[in-house]
A and B are shown apart, each in its own frame.
Chain A
Amino acid sequence: MLRISLTLLPLIFFIAFFAYPLFKILIYSFASSEDIAIYPFAEILTDPYYLGRIWFTVWQAFLSMILALLAGLPIAYIFSKYEFTGKSFLQALTTVPFVMPTIVVAMGFITLFGNDGILNTGLSKFLNLNEPLIKINNSLTMILIAHTFYNYSIIVRIVSSIWTNIDPELERAGSILGANKFQVFTKITLPMLLPAIISSALLAFTFSFSSFGVILVLAGPKFATIEVSIYQLAVKLMDLPSASTLCIIQIIFTYSFMILYSNLQNRYSNWINIRPSKNTYKPKKNKRDKIFIILGVIYILILISPLIALIARTLSFEIGNTQSHVSELFSNQKGSYFYLNPIATIINSFKFALGTLFISIILGTISSYLVANRTNRAKNHLIDALLMLPLGVSSIALGLGYILAWNTPPFDLRGSWIIIIIAHSLIAYPFVMRSVLPAIQQINPNLREVATLLGSSTKKVFYKIDLPLITPSLIVGSTFAFAISIGEFGASLLLVKPEFTTMPVAIYRFLGLPGDENLKNALVMSSILMCTVIIGFICIEKLRYKNIGTF
């Protein structure tokens, strides 16, 4: 009985808060025309404006992907081939962008490269200019740099994890058989790396394709992608049917990428000769290698400079002001309509994040057991793939779906706090699953059997054997869930009522308001958000090096 209800829990959640909203979007997308069902698609796909938006989305994603490869591959090489002091710290540092909330990254870029940013103020002072030298506010360049900042860490992580573990004997065997260095690389190393390079590039492409916060904040309406257009249609123009149609188009795109990605993963996951990485490191040998490593380190520091800029700017306010701005943030009591209570916002965010952590851990763990307990492999893959589907749906689509699906009493969840936690949990639980499922699958079933024969009931076996063994992965999963919730922007923007404003939404609102005061508020809040996430992931990195849960 308990088992059945536990099984039903994630399924009901999945149907109610994923399948049903998506279905509603589909219905609405057809509802925009009375003639034939396919008409709205034809309308959007022949409208030069939307065609332009779709084309731009693909184009910027492609450029972002290329830039991410250019930025990521050299670092992947250094991490794979050299051992040096501070390497694990640098590796941890490269993960930072990947987990950073979009709004924080956007703030970082504004602080560093914006017209009034640190770089421009510095250069103007130095060169005595009246105008900012770097004018990339609201430009494609800004989008591309921000995406590169995000995506290079995916490339580094995926490519270096394979590159580190390629058996060096294979390369040696190649050179013994007469291949020169270039041939060894092109004929042996590169073919083995290619699947990793392609799949990481595909991920970078997909992320850029459905990027929302970065584009909304940094580029403005002129550079709207499909995602931003959906938001504009839904919120600004109240044209829900067209937004839905665009949503469906977007989902078709992302699912095609996901299918392509998982096919690649399945095809290449087995044939790479993996060696424990200890055997593959090359110690730094000569001057050239050392210079190479130093350049790499500088390069990484440049890549995370927007975050450093953000902190520096926040601190400079602190030092420059007689009254601490942080304390001001917490004490400001203006009566303005637009006034957002920062403390309430922070408390909201933490409440939602804790709620998300709780729900997604439960959902993620039960779902993992659903997949792990089955003996039928084909069916397993199906359930696994099904439960992973939320990964491919953008948060804007999700928010839109909830507005369309849960808007009639007694189930009018629009603007309620519960719907925000649900949205965040739906986005977060696949990450929990990705962390917990491998841990469950690694548990030797004999352990449970031995414990049973030694007198443990099913419940005791779970508490004494399973739970301790999956705890590290649960911690990793919870940190992800917490970080995802606290930084989530798109769905929150569509769903929150003013009294439930979260930090990312507040930062966006502050940015939209005039005056230095609001910019400072945005800065301080971004720094708080960033520190929260970083602290969480420092904990994960500690666990990661015990070889638990890799992403």
Chain B
Amino acid sequence: MSQLTITDLTKSFNEDNVVDSVSFSVEKGEIVCLLGPSGCGKTTLLRLIAGLEQFDSGKIIFENNDLSKTPASKRNFGLMFQNLSLFPHMNVFENIAFGLKMKNLSTQHIDTQVSNLLAMVGLKGYSKRDVNELSGGQQQRIALARAIAPSPTLLMLDEPLGSLDSNLRNSLQIQIRDIVKKIGVTSIYVTHDRNEALTIADKIVLMNNGKIIQIGTPNEVFQSPVNIFAAEFLGHQNIISGQLQSDSNNISFDSEFGKVILSNKITYDLAASSIIIDTRGISLFAKNEADNIESTDNLYECKIIGKSFKERAYEFKIQVNSQILIASFQPNYWGETPVLDIGQKAYVKINSEFIYGF
């Protein structure tokens, strides 16, 4: 039996279903990410589970109890927000101790608990600090300590790193995951950032327009999107529509730029109408390099229409017939630079092991 089971949960504002018959379950100790574009209903879903909003229909069962009768203050859930929501009129210690004091625990117990938590989030000795003078990253670590202080049975995080810059986000993502895993609290983490979700989650619940699109492990959701929305939202760039053809020898895919032979190592749904070609599976060759090409399978002529440098690779925008694809070129450290440039004609070869169909 799952720790948290949500069944057919629906919530509407002004006759608009913000959460539309959503069902999923969370296992004990699991980190579940609610992922989706802004306005997809993920935050509302979180607030329904927290008890900050009332749902219209459906059921939330937590450890075999129906939560609809339990007020938010009695659920013993932890919550952490994106914007800096530390109590500005209390210092670090008072913020973290707030939930413990609400439980009427002894002063001594609170003292040890708070200093343990401060050590855990790496802010030992900060207990007398004014929260308004802390940096954004420190504030969020205090917010995490405050949320987990009363040992909640469920921790909810609503875009907790949304207001931080990207370097800090990356390091805090790992820290949050480590801490949450260490104390073993079941967590629901809301984010619109796919990389954050992929980094933190044990399980991703992908949402759009109030509905669940896909549920799966980060790898499943990333590698095997169920539809174009999922593919695009997880950052796939080469999504091509067409038709799957299968004959005795091999399976191929007919699309606007021609026939693509698919690998027989991968199982394809015969009804698939789209494929994703991972950028790692696309190689470019200049016209004069044609001799280096081993086979003419999945080889096409193309035109370079764009070139930019992103993160650690050049990204080429190429046109094959009317289809536009994105290819990348990773330079080595011996000063390699791409010979290709905008406007040139070239060859593109697609490696069939990097094609996923859906």
Contact = CB atoms under 8 A, between A and B. Distances in A.
Interface of A: 444, 446-447, 449-457, 460, 464-465, 468-469
Nearest to B78: A453
Contacts of A465: 87
B75 interface: yes
Instruction: Name the residue in A446, A452, A453, A456 with the highest tally of chain B Cβ atoms < 10 Å from its Cβ.
Output: A453
Nearest to B104: A455
B307 to A, nearest CB: 36
A264 B258 CA distance: 65
Interface residues of B, number: 26
A446 B78 contact: no
Contacts of A453: 50-52, 72-73, 75, 77-79
Contacts of B83: 444, 446
Contacts of A456: 73, 102
B94 to A, nearest CB: 10
B85 A450 contact: yes
Minimum-distance CB pairs A-B, first 9: A454-B99, A455-B102, A446-B85, A453-B79, A446-B81, A468-B89, A452-B72, A452-B73, A449-B52
Given A447-B85, A449-B50, A452-B52, 18 more contacts: A446-B81, A449-B79, A450-B80, A450-B81, A450-B146, A450-B147, A452-B72, A453-B52, A453-B75, A454-B73, A454-B78, A454-B98, A455-B103, A456-B73, A457-B73, A464-B98, A468-B89, A469-B88
Contacts of B80: 450
Q: What secondary structure prevails in chain A residues at the interface with B?
A: helix
B150 interface: yes
B118 to A, nearest CB: 17
B76 interface: yes
Contacts of A444: 83-85
A455 B99 contact: yes
B132 to A, nearest CB: 12
Nearest to A469: B89
A341 to B, nearest CB: 45
Nearest to B102: A455
Nearest to A444: B85
Contacts of B85: 444, 446-447, 450
B73 A455 contact: yes
Contacts of B89: 468-469
Nearest to B98: A454
A455 B150 contact: yes
Contact of B146 (A454, A460, A464, A468): A454
A272 to B, nearest CB: 25
Contact of B79 (A450, A457, A464, A468): A450
A449 B83 CA distance: 13
Contacts of B79: 449-450, 453
A95 to B, nearest CB: 27
B7 to A, nearest CB: 23
13 contacts: A444-B85, A446-B81, A446-B83, A447-B85, A450-B147, A452-B52, A453-B78, A454-B73, A454-B78, A454-B98, A455-B76, A455-B99, A468-B89
Interface centre among A444, A451, A454, A460 (most CB of B within 10 A): A454
B50 to A, nearest CB: 6
Given A446-B85, A447-B85, A447-B87, A454 B52 contact: no
Contacts of A450: 79-81, 85, 87, 146-147
Contacts of A454: 73, 78, 98-99, 102, 146, 150
Contacts of B78: 453-454
Contacts of A452: 52, 72-73
A450 B89 CA distance: 14
A467 to B, nearest CB: 10
A266 to B, nearest CB: 26
A259 to B, nearest CB: 31
A33 B77 CA distance: 71
A464 B88 CA distance: 12
A539 B172 CA distance: 44
A465 B90 CA distance: 10
Interface string B53-80: 0000000000000000000111111111
Nearest to A461: B73
A475 to B, nearest CB: 14
Nearest to B143: A450
Interface centre among B76, B77, B79, by most A CB within 10 Å? Answer: B79
Contacts of B51: 453
Contacts of B76: 455
Nearest to B156: A453
Nearest to B88: A469
Contacts of B74: 455
Nearest to A465: B87
Nearest to B76: A455
Contacts of A455: 73-74, 76, 99, 102-103, 150
A504 B135 CA distance: 53
A456 B71 CA distance: 10
Contacts of B150: 454-455
A376 B146 CA distance: 33
Contacts of B77: 453
Specify which of A449, A450, A468 lies most central, judged by the most chain B CB atoms within 10 Å of its CB.
Answer: A450
A486 to B, nearest CB: 30
Contacts of A451: 87, 98
Contacts of A468: 89
A455 to B, nearest CB: 4
A456 B51 CA distance: 13
Contacts of B52: 449, 452-453
B156 to A, nearest CB: 8
B21 to A, nearest CB: 25
Contacts of A449: 50, 52, 72, 79, 81
A469 B102 CA distance: 19
Nearest to A458: B73
